Amino acid sequence: MRIEKDTLGEIKLPDDVYYGAQTKRAVDNFPISGLKLPRRFIRAQGIVKLAAARANCRLGLLDRKIFRAIEKAAMEVIKGAHDNHFVVDVYQAGAGTSQNMNANEVIANRALEILKCKKGDYKLIHPNDHVNMAQSTNDTIPASIYISAFEAVREDLLPVLNALRGTMTGKSREFDAIVKAGRTHLQDAVPIRLGQEIGGYAESIKNDIRRISHAAGSLLYLPIGGNAVGTGINAKPGFRKYVIREIRMITGIKFRSSENMFEGIQNIHPALELSASLRGLSITLTKIANDIRLLSSGPRTGFAEIQLPVVQPGSSIMPGKVNPVMAEMLNMVCFQVLGNDTTIAYATQASQLELNVMMPVIAHNLLVSIEILTRGINAFNNKCLKRIKADAAKCQTLAETTLAIATALNPIIGYTSAAEVSKEAYRTGKSVKQVAIEKGILKKTDAHRVLDPLKLTGK
């Protein structure tokens, strides 16, 4: 064991941990959920601390030996070497002060160890004075949120969305010749090709990619250098410019300073904007998953127009039952994201005066949304969508028997008369084509031409 001191007094700590007194107090004070902020967020904290150390060294404020030790420790944090020492619960002190100090203490104590000094002996390297130099929780936490979320969108979410869109585009081509009954209000509608239907899904995902990419652009503006309230107190002239330059070099991403530091610290609107775009994606995906469940329903008492790959048994009591489990999983992911977005919205509007103190819960929900969407979409695409098969014969039969095909008679006999044909077809169980021929509305050859389901899809 070792004893550390903070401004409230002494704290006992196991000697093998890198975190210090303030982190230990937070662990004791907030035993709430057992949830910790994700790996990407910890990585982003390491990036901010590394960039700040380099900026301060460039300004001549950090001794070279101290800087090198902090640099090495921060780089280890970036790589994930010390994730098990980031132990503060998601539901913690406002703004993320405990989370910031967790990073400061881990880096300080690891830097001391690198210099063959004892952990907790902060005379040489201090968590606040050296690792947190020219920084505040209030600018490092939002910067970490934006860096981690942007990287997660760029490296994880957008690639799987593009892969999903690619699969849908491929399926739309594969099924382009398969005509089926369209449905509006879940009732018979005019024919549509299965490829057209799935092509609509592909386009909707394309639009969500565009919206998410645009929203992610707002994350590029970091309030780092604004310090506690935006004034940049305790930061030397040039720090703001150098720290952004270093973050850009470390990440390879064109981050820049917030246009107004006061606004950048008062509000967490970039996170809100991105979350809103994820909410939109979730609604799109929910619609698609619901459609897949409907179109595959059966196999004998439902639509059964498509067949899903069998990935696991569907019932603990009904032998042989198979369920659309991948679509159901995607639904649940989307519902969770909608709930996360609500949390983010409430937390974002909780900003007061110079600061939003709800940043940890914003960070957690935003990064979890990106992560579960990434994994859920990837699983749905690979284990379901890529392996969907169409029942072309079933689709053709329904396309030919849909009562709404009478719509093609409107230009010939008018809407009212066409409605009578549709009603008679329904009463008698005959097709619209049969009734049109029997009533002498169309000759047989004309009926085949006018009421050809495939031609009615615009092909």
Mean pLDDT of 195-208: 98
Q: Identify the pLDDT of residue 122.
A: 97
Instruction: For residue 315, indicate whether it is catalytic.
Output: yes
Q: Identify the pLDDT of residue 80.
A: 98
Q: Identify the pLDDT of residue 216.
A: 98
Domains and CATH numbers, the chain: 2-133 (1.10.275.10), 139-224+256-391 (1.20.200.10), 402-457 (1.10.40.30)
Q: Identify the pLDDT of residue 31.
A: 98
Q: Identify the pLDDT of residue 453.
A: 96
Cis peptide before 127 (omega within 30 of 0): no
According to DSSP, the β-strands at 256-257 and 221-222 are parallel
Cα separations (Å) of 54 from 253, 324, 392?
17, 53, 64
Q: Identify the pLDDT of residue 193.
A: 98
Q: Where are the alpha helices (DSSP H) in 296-358?
A: 325-349
- Of all residues in the chain, the percent with pLDDT exceeding 90 is 100
Catalytic residue, candidates 185, 297, 316, 351:
185
Question: Residue 453 is encoded by which pair of tokens?
Answer: 């389901």
Instruction: For residue 316, indicate whether it is catalytic.
Output: no
pLDDT band for position 459 (cuts 50, 70, 90): low
Q: Is the pLDDT of residue 106 over 90?
A: yes
CB 41 within 8 A of CB 144: yes
Return the DSSP state at 451. T
Q: Identify the pLDDT of residue 118.
A: 96
Return the DSSP state at 2. E
Cα separations (Å) of 88 from 17, 18, 33, 167?
13, 13, 10, 41
Mean pLDDT of 425-438: 96
Given 3-state DSSP classes, what are the helix, strand and coil percentages for the chain, each rounded to the nearest 5? 65, 10, 30
List Cβ neighbours of 76 (8 Å cut-off, separation of 6 or more).
Answer: 46, 82, 110
Mean pLDDT, the chain, integer? 97
Catalytic residue, candidates 33, 214, 315, 448:
315
pLDDT band for position 136 (cuts 50, 70, 90): very high
Query: CA 361 to CA 34: how far, in whole Å?
Result: 13
Q: Identify the pLDDT of residue 403.
A: 96
pLDDT band for position 305 (cuts 50, 70, 90): very high
CB 272 within 8 A of CB 146: no
pLDDT band for position 113 (cuts 50, 70, 90): very high
